[in-house]
Structure 1
């Protein structure tokens, strides 16, 4: 079953000796059950995020969330509370080794939507690059009523 949704994303990046950077995005996407206990949430990136031409997918499982990006930018980031995962971040300008250490995560989703929160530290080529917080709210897209 395809479920069209509205996705509100708030991302906050904190760097040492720099002002926090916050981005907010509202976009349309899809929320689909994956056949087990999880969900798949996906949307097309836009020019606003600098990732135009990239499909972003969150695979949400009870103990793990995987962020996949395919297109102009290719990456996979795995979030598991209290664990560190390494992945490759492939851009048109080259590849980087990215480490993700998840401090806290919470996902509460159903067919009609829900929320995801991920608090994690990111390191690039083994140097800590900052602290990030994703807050994602998902709600059903209501059909436009015809007059």
Structure 2
């Protein structure tokens, strides 16, 4: 398969996702999810896409990680609509739409690493989150991607 064919194709992948939320002096709250998704190479980088499930409380939502250069954009569309921008050492503010209204969310990324390619790899992000400018905790997630 040529580079051009690879770049225009959504490759089936398995995603192993582990998210952790840390609150003051409490053991982290961890969520683990294994799901099928797609990996697509783009001019700007790559896209990881998967469907949320009842386990995450966001059934009916499509989640996409857009990885380009030093930045990762997390987009959710469906029962939950949001966009979160992660860039190490920078803060980004976005709106998080819920059935109850919109919230302002500040994301401060402390670490962002990945070695993703068409073969798979690992994406790791550590960040703190503030809702309506009040810090609600520190979070991290790791996504291991394996070609099917």
Count of residue correspondences: 140
Q: Shift of the alpha carbon at 1:19?
A: 3.2
**What is the rounded CA distance, in whole Å, between the counterparts of 2:124 and 2:79 in structure 1?**
25
Partner of 1:22: 30
**What is the rounded CA distance, in whole Å, between the counterparts of 1:17 and 1:117 in structure 2?**
23
TM-score, normalised relative to structure 1: 0.93
Partner of 1:49: 56
**What is the rounded CA distance, in whole Å, between the counterparts of 2:113 and 2:57 in structure 1?**
26
Over the aligned positions, Cα root-mean-square deviation in angstroms equals 0.8
**What is the rounded CA distance, in whole Å, between the counterparts of 2:25 and 2:144 in structure 1?**
30
Structure 1 runs of 4+ off > 4 angstroms?
none
**What is the rounded CA distance, in whole Å, between the counterparts of 1:39 and 1:124 in structure 2?**
28
SS, match of residue 33 in structure 2? strand
Are 1:135 and 2:131 counterparts?
A: no
Partner of 2:14: 6
**What is the rounded CA distance, in whole Å, between the counterparts of 1:81 and 1:133 in structure 2?**
13
The one-character-per-residue Cα deviations of 1:90-144 (angstroms, maximum 9, x if unpaired) are 0112211100000010011111101100000000000000000111100011xxx
Q: Shift of the alpha carbon at 1:46?
A: 0.3
The one-character-per-residue Cα deviations of 1:58-96 (angstroms, maximum 9, x if unpaired) are 000121000000000000000000000000000112211
**What is the rounded CA distance, in whole Å, between the counterparts of 1:47 and 1:123 in structure 2?**
25
**What is the rounded CA distance, in whole Å, between the counterparts of 1:85 and 1:62 in structure 2?**
16
Partner of 1:145: none
SS, match of residue 109 in structure 1? coil
TM-score, normalised relative to structure 2: 0.92
